[in-house]
Each structure stands twice: as C-alpha cells, then as structure tokens.
Structure 1
Amino acid sequence: MEGVDRRAARVVCLDGQGRVLLMHWHDRVSGKAIWEPPGGGLEPGETPLEAARRELTEETGLPGSVVEDVWVEVQRDFRWLGVRYVTTEPFFLARFDEAGPEVDPGALTPEESEAYLGYAWLESMPDGVEPPELAEVVAKLTGRR
C-alpha cells in the first residue's frame, strides 16, 4: 500500500533539565496510544520553520519564537487514523531555561482535541514513541552521543 507524503514539521523541546516534551495521543482507529514531539502539517505558503513555530504554539501554548533554525530530517513511516504516511519531516530544536514549562494546548483542532491524552517532560523515551528512533534524533540535534 502506498503511503501519503504529507509535508509536516516537528519540534524537539528540551527543558532546563534536558528532558524532552512529548505529546500523548490516542488513535481511535487503531486503538493505539503514541507519544511524539509537537508538530504538524505545513499550511500553504508556509516554510517548515514557520510551521514548526506555529504548531508549537497551537499544540502547547509555548512561544514559537524559541524554535531554532536547527533541524534534522527524519524518515517517517507511520499510521494515523487509518492512513499510512511515508514522508520525510524536519525535526527542529527548541530549548527552555526553566524545568518543565507548563503546556496549555489551547488551539487544538477538533480532531486533535479528541485524540489528546496529555503531555510529559521525559528523561527517557516511553513505549509507543514516534518516531521510534527519537532518542537518536535528539542526540543529533543536541550533539549528545
């Protein structure tokens, strides 16, 4: 089965303790719960960096201005709501000085609101993280090995 190539961007957010912000979602079609960095699809005329900044603010209430023009390309092959996506997404970096800034997802779409389970600032990757190689993506973005 051919996959959909949807242009999207994601943001790896690190707090002052080096923890990664992950959003928790429930796919009502598959029944699976996943954890992933904030992000989403590009709007017409938007650059990936603009989309990353907009999506961070919409999904978390955190300031998009903290998203740095530092990114790595990540090959993605995943299913969401019964659709297979095969695409390459830029994952950008954002850093916060404080520990665990409060997240307020005040601008979720109706589909996102239905799927939203919460968020966490995590030291290690949980089961169900997307993409599965997120720890390596964080290492590439931050120069950590």
Structure 2
Amino acid sequence: MSNNDRPAARVVCMDRDGRVLLMHWYDRVSGQEVWEPPGGGVDPGESPIEAARRELAEETGLPGSAVLDRWVDVDRDFEWLGVRYVKSEPFFLARFERARPEVDPGELTEEEREAYLGYEWAAELPPGVEPPNLAEVVAELTRHG
C-alpha cells in the first residue's frame, strides 16, 4: 500500500472567538511552507473519528474528546515531500471554550518534527493554506450552530 493510499482525517479546531487552528509545516523537498489543520493517517482498524481524535492529541496536546461526530468530505490534491496526494479526507469539527488554547505537539513523528514550524489560531486564513477551500469547509462545518 503506497503512502498515497492511506486514508487520513483532519480536524478543524475552533476556539471561543471562531479562530481556526493551523499547523505550520516546511516541505524541505519543494521549499514551500504549508498551513493546514491538524490530522493525519488512519491506522488499520481505526475509524476516521478515532484517528482524528488520536491525531489531534498527538499533534497538538489538545483533548481528542473535543472532536465532534460531524465532518465534511474534502477532496485533496497536494504534494508533500515530493509525493502527490489525490484523495478525499473527512474534516471533523472540534470546538474549544477558551480563546486560543495552548498547543503542545508532544508526539510528532521524526518527519513531522523536522517539518514543524509552529502553529497559529488564525482569525483569517493565510495564503497557502491547505486545502485551498478551507474557508468553505469551515463554513460548512459550522453552518448548523
């Protein structure tokens, strides 16, 4: 199974003020910087929401229990470390009662540690955000209160 085929799940984290948590990564192959919601691969035997909760905890230190059973399927087409990924991923919603909860990525893989530049609770999505239609994804996830 190529890396390309592994299913993944991501989490749109919203704080009390409606900011979106973005992780900041550096792709050493392309030289590009990427902002994207936390998330990652679904392990064998895991459901997408279980993966979303585990990845959120690993990448941010935030409680996986904040991830709600509410998602939007998002078509992805991106390159990372020289590999092109074309797939659909569920983006789950997580809400936090505080403004800008502290993020502590305690359990990054070695590859992630090399690429990690930090994070931001973004009031406005920066250029270069992945996926490019993230604003629409956030609107869809938050449409019903």
Stretches of structure 1 that go unaligned for 5 or more consecutive residues are: none
Pairing 1:116-135 to 2, within 5 Å after superposition: 116-135=116-135
Alpha-carbon separation, structure 1, partners of 2:89 and 2:4: 13
Structure 1 residue 23: deviation in Å? 0.2
Amino acid in structure 1 at the alignment position of 2:97: D
Amino acid in structure 1 at the alignment position of 2:126: P
Pairing 1:41-80 to 2, within 5 Å after superposition: 41-80=41-80
Amino acid in structure 1 at the alignment position of 2:32: K
Runs of 4+ off more than 4 Å = none
Amino acid in structure 1 at the alignment position of 2:54: R
Residue deviations 1:74-105 (CA, integer Å, cap 9, x gap): 00000000000000000000000100000000
Structure 1 residue 127: deviation in Å? 1.0
User: Per the alignment, in what secondary structure is the counterpart of residue 4 of structure 1?
Assistant: helix
Pairing 1:3-82 to 2, within 5 Å after superposition: 4-82=4-82
8 Å contact from structure 1 (residues 6, 85) kept in 2: no
Could you tell me the percent identity over the aligned residues?
73
Stretches of structure 2 that go unaligned for 5 or more consecutive residues are: none
User: Per the alignment, in what secondary structure is the counterpart of residue 87 of structure 2?
Assistant: strand
Task: Please give the root-mean-square deviation of Cα atoms over the aligned residues, in Å.
Answer: 1.1
Alpha-carbon separation, structure 1, partners of 2:48 and 2:4: 18
Amino acid in structure 2 at the alignment position of 1:136: E
Alpha-carbon separation, structure 1, partners of 2:9 and 2:28: 23
8 Å contact from structure 1 (residues 6, 87) kept in 2: no
Amino acid in structure 1 at the alignment position of 2:14: L
Alpha-carbon separation, structure 2, partners of 1:113 and 1:129: 19
Residue deviations 1:91-145 (CA, integer Å, cap 9, x gap): 000000100000000000000000000000011110110000000000000007x
Please report the TM-score for the alignment, with normalisation by the length of structure 2: 0.96
Alpha-carbon separation, structure 2, partners of 1:4 and 1:97: 35
- Aligned partner of 1:88 in structure 2 is 88
User: Per the alignment, in what secondary structure is the counterpart of residue 93 of structure 1?
Assistant: strand
Please report the TM-score for the alignment, with normalisation by the length of structure 1: 0.96
Residue deviations 1:28-71 (CA, integer Å, cap 9, x gap): 10000000000000111000000000000000000000100000
User: Per the alignment, in what secondary structure is the counterpart of residue 119 of structure 2?
Assistant: strand
